[in-house]
Amino acid sequence: MSAFVFEIGLEEMPARFLPDLEAGLEDLAREHLTREHIDHADVQVFSTPRRLVLWVAEMAAIQESRSELITGPPKAIAYSESGELTKAGQGFARNQGVNESDIFIQDTPKGEYLAVQKQVGGQKTEAILPGICAQIVGKLPMPKRMRWESSGFLFARPIRWLLALLDDTVIPVHIASLNAGRQTWGHRVHGPGPLEVPRAEEYFDLIRNQGSLILNRHERRQMIQETGDALARDEGGSVVWNDSLLAEVASLVELPMPILGRFDSQYLELPKEVLLTSMESHQKSFGLQDAQGNLLPFFLCTLNLKPKDLELVRKGWERVLKARLEDAAFFWKVDSKATLEQWLAELDKVVFLGPLGSMGDRVRRLQQVSAYLTEGESRDVHAHTVRAAALAKVDLVSEMVGEFDNLQGIMGGIYARQKGDPDPVAQAIAEHYLPTGPESEVPASLVGAYLSIVDKADALAGCFGLNMIPTGTQDPYALRRQALGIVRTAWEHRLRFSLDSLLDRAFDAYQGVAWKLDKEAALSALREFFAHRIRALCTGQGIGTRVVDAALNVGFDDLWAFEQRLQALERFSRESDFDQAVLTFKRADNIIRKQGDQAGVDLRAGYREDLLAEPQEKALARALTDMQPRWEQLWAEEDFDQLFALLRELRPVVDDFFDHVMVMADDHSLRQNRLNMLQSLVDRLSVLADFSALQI
């Protein structure tokens, strides 16, 4: 077995590109090697900002040789009536490079076809690898591509060198205007190179010791974290680690060297969120805190080299951060002098979204819809939600958010608390943009949950009224995220409200807007949009599409009740008798659909006991009657698991009914009575799931 290393040398790659490029390179390499029947050990991929590296410790020197059946034209076309090969048959033999004696007739499900058994494979791996590598590079996933040389090849950043070695043999990979060799380049300062790699297995020691860089980004991350924790302990604190920033920093450096910087303790008067944002967003640095969670006057930054004069470099970082903190301190002082009433007045000058009016108009809508949504809550929750809605957007006109836009909402909460509003109002303002993604947390407080839902409903109603409905991958106003935010927040807080009524109120709260869709069309599109988002969310959690559709088709106006019913149906679907239950209840549903709605017959739940003729229909009638009080109690308690359990109990009686009773009897009275009895059953089924959607 041979060792293979393939390195793509690059100009500095954006940090956010590297994880997807690594995953894509690994998956594509494994796929192509398997497709080409090249036996290999595990595939490993590494990256720095200036390189992508594919490593296979063991790879077969020769492609697997195998026998393969190749079929050609049908026998009727390949042979003439006299038994001679036609031009079609001769062409098949010629294309396969075989004699007529090597051809035979193969029986297939589609009939008899000309065929030949050929030995394929057996090529040297070094002859196949150039094509594999070129194909892989062309298919790598990246959000943006650029053209940088005359061949027109596209990649995220210019490719500057290629290295490809199978043991000590250079693999002649050609990409763009570059040919692979055995040279690589190390750290720009500490090991620039070029470096000659004699053999593939020597690459890693050479790149680390002579190239002076750490190839594995996970190792770089660990080095940053361990060194940072040690430096923080020396100052009596701990690092405020931000996982996404830590991952980004690890992908920005090739030779990480964490150091501590210091800033004047006077800046600790600023809110913690402002200090951390100044460090993280602009300096890619981390704050330090004491055991009580209070920030210390230190920050942790990560260099990409070992400087000759560490103190000079440290002072440079401190000087840059000081400038940012000076700006933040100035904004804080200016904002602290303003009043909430001043900011509320200024919101009328801030445009929300074209025809949808100003931010002032928006907060007035949020107040109106918040008052409706919290009518059934306590007086405090109701009042706090309406007040938070009034102040939700005031920080948009603050100096601080004008500079640090990722603090919107957070600063609103801080300013509301600073200027005298109660904690529930301040917390709700800080939380109301949540969740910001599928993995993001939802608001922790009840008031924050209500405000978040109202805020997102307002945006959805306005955009859909203007026919700004997301299509394909285009979603400039993040409407998919906002719909999912409403769903997730309702589920996690167990909130009970009518989604249709909420959207209706949100739509009505707009005044004087020239809509491109009328209200009914917009709301209809919104309901469909929510159904698609819920389906995607639930199937992403591992629930089968048909189970989700069966629950959705019954309705999802009460989001929390829908989720409980869906989970109960999903548990029911894992029972051993689920398939048989579906067949039974689908049969009842199909009969009612066909004989009722489709036939235009008015069926009514209930039956006449004097028309019950067969023992099996009498048994079903008794079962339905006996079930009724239990069903009503469980439905009132919303115990969906027990409701599905009732259906399971009822199934054998229904099966017996279908096996022995002719529903479509010739006698009209009997037929109508039996259909009405089935209608009673279907009425119960239809509030739990659409069994017709459950294909078995």
**Dist CA 420 CA 329 (whole Å):** 21
**Closest among 7, 5, 9 to 157, alpha carbons compared:** 9
Question: Is 514 inside a domain boundary?
Answer: yes
Q: Which among 307, 337, 367 is the end of a domain?
A: 337
**CATH code of the domain covering residue 660:** 1.10.730.10
Question: Is 595 inside a domain boundary?
Answer: yes
The answer to whether the beta carbons of residues 190 and 184 sit under 8 Å apart is: no
Residue 424, preceding peptide bond in cis (omega within 30° of 0):
no
Q: Could you tell me if 405 and 521 lie in one domain?
A: yes
**CATH code of the domain covering residue 434:** 1.10.3210
Q: Could you tell me if 148 and 114 lie in one domain?
A: no
Domain count, the chain: 5
Report pLDDT for 480: 94
Q: Could you tell me if 316 and 374 lie in one domain?
A: no
The answer to whether the beta carbons of residues 568 and 644 sit under 8 Å apart is: yes
Residue 296's contacts (CB-CB under 8 Å, 6 or more residues apart) are: 235, 236, 237, 287, 288, 289, 290
**Closest among 49, 55, 11 to 29, alpha carbons compared:** 55
The amino acid occupying position 635 is W
Q: Could you tell me if 101 and 130 lie in one domain?
A: no
Residue 110's contacts (CB-CB under 8 Å, 6 or more residues apart) are: none
The answer to whether the beta carbons of residues 304 and 255 sit under 8 Å apart is: yes
**Closest among 276, 270, 289, 278 to 242, alpha carbons compared:** 276
Domain containing 192: what range? Answer: 2-62+124-209
Question: Is 557 inside a domain boundary?
Answer: no
Question: Is 245 inside a domain boundary?
Answer: yes
Q: Could you tell me if 10 and 159 lie in one domain?
A: yes
Q: Could you tell me if 316 and 422 lie in one domain?
A: no
Taking each continuous run of H as one helix and of E as one strand, the counts in the chain are 26, 18
Report pLDDT for 110: 79
Tokens of 4: 């293979």
The answer to whether the beta carbons of residues 665 and 676 sit under 8 Å apart is: no
Question: Is 52 inside a domain boundary?
Answer: yes
Q: Which among 165, 180, 209 is the end of a domain?
A: 209
pLDDT digits (tens, 9 = 90+) for 600-613: 556 676 778 878 88
Report pLDDT for 605: 64
Question: Is 550 inside a domain boundary?
Answer: no
Report pLDDT for 634: 93
Helix, coil or strand: residue 293: coil
**Closest among 210, 212, 178 to 197, alpha carbons compared:** 210
Strands 169-170 and 159-166, bridge-based pairing: antiparallel
**CATH code of the domain covering residue 46:** 3.30.70
Q: Could you tell me if 202 and 106 lie in one domain?
A: no
The answer to whether the beta carbons of residues 295 and 287 sit under 8 Å apart is: yes
Looking at the DSSP bridge assignments, the partners of residue 108 are 111
CA 222 to chain CA centroid, nearest Å: 26
Query: Which residues of the chain carry a pLDDT beneath 70?
Result: 120-121, 596-603, 605, 695-696
Q: Could you tell me if 58 and 71 lie in one domain?
A: no
Residue 531's contacts (CB-CB under 8 Å, 6 or more residues apart) are: 552, 556
The answer to whether the beta carbons of residues 645 and 630 sit under 8 Å apart is: no
**Dist CA 515 CA 361 (whole Å):** 16
Looking at the DSSP bridge assignments, the partners of residue 604 are none
Tokens of 29: 């390499």
Q: Which class for 11: exposed (0-12), middle (13-18), buried (19 or more C-beta within 10 A)?
A: middle
pLDDT digits (tens, 9 = 90+) for 418-466: 999 999 999 999 999 999 888 889 999 999 999 999 999 999 999 999 9
Give the residue carrying structure tokens 């030995």.
119
Report pLDDT for 120: 67
Q: Could you tell me if 403 and 493 lie in one domain?
A: yes
Q: Which among 337, 356, 374 is the end of a domain?
A: 337
Q: Could you tell me if 277 and 154 lie in one domain?
A: no
Question: Is 387 inside a domain boundary?
Answer: yes
Q: Could you tell me if 327 and 378 lie in one domain?
A: no
Of all helices (H) and strands (E), which one includes residue 423? helix 423-431
Q: Could you tell me if 662 and 683 lie in one domain?
A: yes
Query: In b/e form, how buried is each residue of 590-627, taking b as 16+ CB within 10 angstroms?
Result: ebbeebbeeeeeebeeebeeebbebebbebbbebbeeb
Question: Is 29 inside a domain boundary?
Answer: yes
